Structure 1
Amino acid sequence: MRRGLILAGTLALAACAGGPPPEVATPTPVLPPEFLYAPDAPTGTALAELLPEADPGFDTLAAQALAGSPTLAEALARIDQARAGADRAGAERLPSLGANASVTGQRTNPAQFGASLPPGVAIDTERVSYAANLTARWDPDIFGRLRAQERAALARVDAATASSLAVRNALVAEIAASVIDWRTLDARQAAIEEDIAAAEELARLAGVREEAGIAPGFDRVRAASAADASRSRLAALASERARLTGRLVTLTAQGAAQVRSALALDAPEPALPESPVALPSILLANRPDVLAAAATLAAEDAELAATARRRFPVFDLSAVIGLLAFSPSDLFDEDSLVGTLAASVAGPLFDFGRIEAEIDGAAAEKRAAFQSYRGAVYTALGDAEAAYGLIAAADRELAAAQAEAASLQRAASLAETRQKAGLADFLTVLEARRAADASGERAAAALGRAQRARVVLWQALGGEAQPTTRSTSQ
Structure 2
Amino acid sequence: MARPILAGAALLPLMLAACASVPDVATPAPELPRAFFYTPQAQAGAALAALMPERDPAYTALSQAALNDAPNLAEALARIDSARAGARRAGAERLPNISADADVTRNRINPAQFGTAGQQGFIPREQTAYGANISASWDIDLFGRLKAQERAALARIDAATAQAQGVRLALLAEIAASITDWRVLDARAAAIAADGAAARQLAALAKAREDAGIAPGFDRVRAEATASGSATRLAALEAERARLVGRLVTLTAQDGATVRAALATPAPALAPAAAPASLPSDLLANRPDVAAAAAELAATDADLAAAARARFPRITLSGVIGLLAFDPSELFNDSLVTTLTGGIAGPLLDFGRVAAGIDAAAADKRAAFAAYRGAVYQALGDAEAAYGVVEAADAEAALAITQRDQLARAAGIAETRYKAGLASFLDVLEARRAADTSGENTAAALGRAARARIVLWQALGGEPAD
| TM-score bucket of the superposed structures, by smaller chain | over 0.9
- Give matches, 1:48-447, under 5 Å: 48-114=49-115, 116-117=116-117, 122-334=122-334, 336-447=335-446
Deviations 1:332-366 (A, max 9, x none): 123x1110000011111111111111111111111
Match of 2:14 among 12, 16, 25: 12
- Matched to 2:208, the amino acid is V
- State the alpha-carbon separation in 2 of the partners of residues 396 and 6 from structure 1: 80
Aligned pairs, number: 464
- State the alpha-carbon separation in 2 of the partners of residues 244 and 95 from structure 1: 57
How far 1:5 moved relative to its partner? 4.0
- State the alpha-carbon separation in 2 of the partners of residues 232 and 400 from structure 1: 27
- Matched to 1:353, the amino acid is G
Contact 1:203 1:223 in 2 (8 A): yes
Deviations 1:429-451 (A, max 9, x none): 22211221211010011111111
Runs of 4+ with >6 A deviation? 118-121
1:26 partner SS: coil
- State the alpha-carbon separation in 1 of the partners of residues 361 and 108 from structure 2: 52
Q: Which residue of 1 aligns with 2:452?
A: 453
- State the alpha-carbon separation in 2 of the partners of residues 267 and 427 from structure 1: 38
How far 1:120 moved relative to its partner? 7.4
How far 1:14 moved relative to its partner? 4.2
Deviations 1:95-140 (A, max 9, x none): 01111111111122123223x4499782222211111111111001
- State the alpha-carbon separation in 2 of the partners of residues 362 and 283 from structure 1: 28
1:338 partner SS: strand
Contact 1:245 1:259 in 2 (8 A): yes
- State the alpha-carbon separation in 1 of the partners of residues 77 and 264 from structure 2: 31
Query: Percent of pairs identical after alignment?
Result: 63
- State the alpha-carbon separation in 2 of the partners of residues 427 and 136 from structure 1: 98
Residues 227/118 of structure 1: CA separation in 2 closer, same or farther (3 Å cut)? closer
- Matched to 1:2, the amino acid is P
- Matched to 2:73, the amino acid is L
- Give matches, 1:19-38, under 5 Å: 19-38=20-39
- State the alpha-carbon separation in 2 of the partners of residues 120 and 330 from structure 1: 26
How far 1:31 moved relative to its partner? 0.8
- Matched to 1:26, the amino acid is T
- State the alpha-carbon separation in 1 of the partners of residues 118 and 387 from structure 2: 101
- State the alpha-carbon separation in 2 of the partners of residues 118 and 280 from structure 1: 88
How far 1:11 moved relative to its partner? 4.9
1:39 partner SS: coil
- State the alpha-carbon separation in 1 of the partners of residues 54 and 236 from structure 2: 29
Contact 1:8 1:345 in 2 (8 A): no
CA RMSD of aligned residues (A): 1.7
Residues 137/207 of structure 1: CA separation in 2 closer, same or farther (3 Å cut)? same
- Matched to 1:428, the amino acid is D
- State the alpha-carbon separation in 2 of the partners of residues 6 and 133 from structure 1: 34
How far 1:267 moved relative to its partner? 0.4
1:311 partner SS: coil
1:316 partner SS: strand
Give structure 1 stretches of 5+ with no counterpart: 469-474
Contact 1:60 1:262 in 2 (8 A): yes
How far 1:37 moved relative to its partner? 0.5
Give structure 2 stretches of 5+ with no counterpart: none
How far 1:462 moved relative to its partner? 0.3
- Matched to 2:235, the amino acid is A
Normalized against structure 2, the TM-score is what?
0.96
- Matched to 1:367, the amino acid is R
Q: Which residue of 2 aligns with 1:471?
A: none
